[in-house]
Amino acid sequence: MKLGLSVIASAMLCSVLSACGGGSGAADNNGGSAAAPQLRRDGSFLVDDQNRTVILHGVNAVWKLKPYAPPDTAEGFTAADADWLQAHGFNSVRLGVLFAGVMPQQGMVDAGYLEQIDRAVQLLAARKIWVLLDFHEDMYNEKFFGEGFPDWAVYDDGVPLLFNAGFPGNLFQPATSITYDNFWNNKNQLWDYYRAAWQAVAAKWARQPYLMGYELINEPWSGTNFATCLPPLGCAGFDENKLQAMQQYMLSGIRQYDPDNLVWFEPLVLISYGAPTYLGAKTPVNDANLGFSWHLYCPTTSLSLLGLDNLTCDLLDADVLHVGEAGSDRLGAARLLTEFGATDLISDLTRSTAEFDQHLLGWQYWAYKNWHDPTTSAGSNAQGLFTDDADLTTVKTDKLKVLERTYPQFTAGTPTALSFDPDTGAFSYSYTARTAGAPTQIYVPLAVHYPNGYSVTASGAQVTSAPNAALLTLENTAGATTVKVTLTAK
């Protein structure tokens, strides 16, 4: 059976590569050049090809309904959307690539689907926006009112879904959890098909400029043993024998087609509620370009009406951030918070983004547009940045004021402290200087926070950009070990 699947995988990849251009594959999206701008891990940080630390502020763009790729429409994703993201300082996008889209029929990769995704990839890369390819899933499949896995990969042992309890309620139902169990147990070699789909993706985009890697699975659910994985203990055995084993199997498959780009592991979804992760605790992964992605959603934001949300969420957020950082350190991986938000509650966004600055942590807000998410209430658009997805002038200005921040996009050194006040525009940043081939670059949102310009002071570096530039650049002073920068609104 394994030999047969290997032959199938080879045939699939040949088909995909041919569709991308004469068998060279989209590995030649950069003309075959090995010098495509991509990110690498340096400790817990990301660095660019000029050895500068990169901090990411981005958004999620996941089209959860068929065809599982954003259409070329105003409501979907066009050049205007990519321009908007660039103009507002967002330098990364977590782009949904669904297993159901890549392999809608068992053993058959849909090259046309990859081309639909590639349209968005190229729009973003042309504007130097880093792209993370995310095998997104929620509640496994449409049968459980979620998305991600194709119909043929649903093995529910004949157990029906009792009723639609929504998200995350359907995760706790036997039908959904049994289906996850069968995936973790590799029923009918599901892992091999999942890996073949990832290999097709890696073969296509291995040399894609501004690709920041592959996120192996979104918010994995442990299945029927979920009760043993709850906080505060978590489930070491499952993490080791199922979750890590599966992700390492995907990693080894991807490395056959892309030996260099980042591959992002993700812990169980329960990390968002403070459950520890044991990825890497017993068996090291030993990959030079490993990333660790996790999410933060405070479950008590509903207490905002009582004025208690900040008190409880401060404690819960601190726990989730600590668990995530410990997990990335254990794995030897770069860190990125790839989901938070999904709300119009400004106090929640203000608190969270301030915490991320304190932790020097890059992030990707959920979500850019609402895009008829099947896991949310009908008609709700609280997740997105716009009141009307088809009209970019309907941006929610209060939300944008918090998310469009002054922040260091590239640093010729290692960050040590960062803070920004969205109410006053006050910005402070320090880093340990090191030699780099390009300057430190700080994004400054003029229209949102500095309509009258700004004043900047720097020690250990010289400002090289024009007054009130939207991209503030600095060159480290010769011999300086520490650089400090402050910026205030005029």
CA 471 to chain centroid, in Å, comes to 24
d(CA 363, CA 91): 10
The answer, yes or no, to whether residue 222 has pLDDT greater than 60, is yes
Helix axes 2-19, 190-205, angle to 10 degrees: 30
pLDDT band at 126 (very low <50, low <70, confident <90, very high): very high
CA distance 369 to 395: 10
Lowest mean pLDDT among 11-25, 33-47, 84-98, 283-297: 11-25
pLDDT for residue 308: 57
pLDDT of residue 24: 32
Beta bridge partners of 457: 486
Mean pLDDT of 167-180: 96
Give the confidence band of 437 by pLDDT, cuts at 50, 70, 90. confident
Task: Give the type of residue at 444.
Answer: V
Element (H, E) at 95: strand 92-96
- The average pLDDT across 453-465 equals 98
Residue 299 and residue 342 in contact, taking contact as beta carbons nearer than 8 Å? no
71-80, 170-179, 428-437: which has the minimum mean pLDDT? 428-437
What residues contact 236, with CB distance under 8 A and at least 6 apart? Answer: 278, 281, 282
Choose among 295, 317, 262: nearest CA to 133: 262
What pLDDT is recorded for position 33? 44
Look over the chain and give the mean of its residue pLDDT values, rounded to a whole number. Answer: 91
Mean pLDDT, residues 340-352:
94
Instruction: Quickly tell me which residue has 């998305």 as its tokens.
Output: 147
Calculate mean pLDDT across residues 396-421.
Answer: 98
391: closest CA among 401, 381, 402, 404? 381
Q: What phi and psi, each to the nearest 5 degrees, are found at residue 234? A: 70, -175
Inter-residue contact 328 to 303 (CB < 8 Å):
no
C-beta separation of 384 from 342 below 8 A: no
Q: Of residues 142, 147, 215, 339, which has the active-site annotation?
A: 339
pTM above 0.95, yes or no: no
Question: Which helix (DSSP H) or strand (DSSP E) does residue 124 occupy?
Answer: helix 111-125
Crossing angle of helices 245-255/190-205, nearest 10°? 40
The CA-atom distances, in angstroms, between 96 and each of 140, 233, 299, 417 are 14, 31, 24, 32
332 sits in the region (left: phi over 0; alpha: psi -120 to 50; else beta) called left
Q: 142 falls in which pLDDT band (50, 70, 90)?
A: very high
Model confidence at 378, in pLDDT bands (50, 70, 90)?
very low
Q: What is the pLDDT of residue 301?
A: 64
Query: Rounded to an integer, what distance in angstroms lies between the CA atom of residue 96 and that of residue 73?
Result: 17
pLDDT in tens, 227-269: 999 999 999 999 999 999 999 999 999 999 999 999 999 999 9
> What is the reported pLDDT for 312?
83
> Rounded to an integer, what distance in angstroms lies between the CA atom of residue 432 and that of residue 437?
16
Q: If you average pLDDT over residues 446-467, what whole number do you get?
A: 98
Instruction: pLDDT band for 205, please (50, 70, 90 cuts).
Output: very high
What domains can be seen in the chain, in order of their start residue? 2-404 (3.20.20.80), 415-489 (2.60.40.1180)
d(Cα 233, Cα 352) in Å, to the nearest integer?
Answer: 24
**pLDDT at 28 (0 to 100):** 41
Residue 465 has pLDDT above 50, yes or no: yes
Among 154, 188, 197, which Cα is nearest to 9's? 197
Length of the chain: 490
Q: Which of 9-23, 140-154, 414-428, 460-474 has the lowest mean pLDDT?
A: 9-23
Rounded Cα–Cα distance for residues 430 and 210 (Å): 26
Q: What is the pLDDT of residue 21?
A: 36
> Residue 1 class from Cβ within 10 Å (0-12 exposed, 13-18 middle, 19+ buried)?
exposed
* Predicted local distance difference test score (pLDDT) of residue 360: 98
**339 is annotated as an active-site residue:** yes
Tens of pLDDT, residues 291-316 = 999 999 988 765 554 555 667 888 89
Q: What is the 3-state secondary structure of 365-424? A: EECCCCCCCCCCCCCCCCCCCECCCCCHHHECHHHHHHHCCCEEEEECEEEEEEEECCCC
Convert the pLDDT of each residue in 20-39 to its tens digit: 433 333 344 443 445 689 99
pLDDT of residue 436: 80
Confidence of residue 435 (pLDDT cuts 50, 70, 90): confident
Beta bridge partners of 486: 428, 457
Q: From residue 309, how far is each of 53, 153, 353, 354, 381 by CA, in Å? A: 33, 40, 15, 15, 21
Look at residue 380 and tell me whether its pLDDT is greater than 80: no
Integer-rounded Cα radius of gyration of the chain: 22
Q: Is the pLDDT of residue 8 over 70?
A: no
Angle between helices 79-87 and 111-125 (to 10 degrees): 40
Catalytic option among 137, 142, 147, 219: 219
Contact (Cβ atoms closer than 8 angstroms) between residue 479 and residue 434: no
Percent of the chain, pLDDT > 90? Answer: 85
